[in-house]
Amino acid sequence: MKKLPGLQHLVLDHTRLGDEILPDLSRLELSYVSLPGTQVTQEGVARLRHRCPTLKLQSAFKQYTAPQPEKTRRGGLGRFVRALLKRG
């Protein structure tokens, strides 16, 4: 993902990703991350929120969620992967 310096929105909904991905996400300059349906725990979301307080974060845990930006198109991981492959 380092090859995508302009990446700001990341939708990881319904993937098998868990808390192990969160340190990598916190190093990216993202403005929005969507995590519903992942294996990320409530504690992991809290840690990510602490590391990235301005990050708009959607998760399964209401106390940590933020509204989805209007310009974000929903497409899930499939659209994200296709975009990566096109930029290859």
Quote the pTM value.
0.65
Taking alpha carbons only, the member of 13, 19, 29 closest to residue 76 is 13
Burial of 11 from C-beta contacts in 10 A (0-12 / 13-18 / 19+): buried
Write out pLDDT tens, residues 16-38: 999 999 998 888 889 999 999 99
Structure tokens at 86: 């096109």
Residues with pLDDT less than 70, the chain: 1-2, 62-76, 78, 87-88
Structure tokens at 54: 């301005």
